[in-house]
Amino acid sequence: MRSAPGMKMARRRFLVSLPLIGITTRSAFAADAAAVPPPDAQRDALAVIARRFEKESGGRIGAHLFCPETGAALSWRGEERFLMCSSFKASLVACVLERCDRDVDDLTHRLAFVDSDFKDNWAPVARANRDAGSLSIAALCAGAVTMSDNICANMLLRHIGGPAVLTRFWRESGDDVTRLDAFEPELNRPSADPQANTTSPVAMARTLHRLIHGTLLHPHSAALLRGWMISCTTGTHRLRAGLPPHWVAGDKTGNNGKDISADIAFAAPEGQAGKSVIMTAYTAGGTPDETRFRKVFRDIGALAPQLVG
């Protein structure tokens, strides 16, 4: 259903009032261009980090880092599949924003809570607003990304038509790998179908690049997504932990409380958006603990500055 004219105008005023948060035009390069081989030292460093984690935890890790401007890239198990867990929420919010760009949806529209959602779900934003009975789509988007609120995500996922619609969004945006098959919290659990609810580090890095730097979203919508990811509260001890203090980063994490931890991120030196790096990392299996998670994600993130030269 298309928004009423008054609602369209309200949304446009809402978007125009927002800063672009460092958005730059990136038509001069593409994420799918052939990667420039990184120096052996960088490639070896990622291998050492990954092998140490896999030996100590008994699981596996996949990672992909690339600089869109130079094409320099690092990868470990980059084409293998991993469960996304809550890291899918960045794409979900992008899908919602793209619907708003087409006037199919409106950020000011409110969605009502469903009582059954409040059972066994991490939901700090939804629970804090339960008495209000509803939240705007904008607030649900913010909650899903900045606080990884599962109820906010499930409400948005239902609103757009379910996991299959998000999977179609990925396909139409050029991602032939990533797929979603379930809602929270079921999507965090292994399925009889090994491809269910999974992505690969390379596929998600390319998707994140297209969402953040490409033309899939209106510039103001891309700015919203960037801003919410920069304000993400759950990634303090993941990829961004390895970056220099003067870098600006946004991310979306995921985990299953056991062997899986995930993080997808973009980062650049402050005031130098033309020197950006896209990073994705996922773990699976074994018996890793939080100390190992923190170290491996921090060490991978610390490789990012070496890709921009």
Catalytic residues, which ones?
Answer: 86
CB proximity list for 131: less than 8 A, separation 6 or greater:
none
**Cα pseudo-dihedral 42, 300, 199, 86, rounded to 10:** -170
The rounded distance, in Å, linking the Cα atoms of 11 and 100 is 9
Q: Which is nearest to 177 in space by CA: 68, 275, 82, 75?
A: 82
The rounded distance, in Å, linking the Cα atoms of 170 and 181 is 13
Distance of CA 267 to the CA centre of its chain: 13
**DSSP conformation class of 72:** B
Q: Which is nearest to 201 in space by CA: 255, 261, 262, 280?
A: 280
In the block, tokens 């959602």 appear at 117
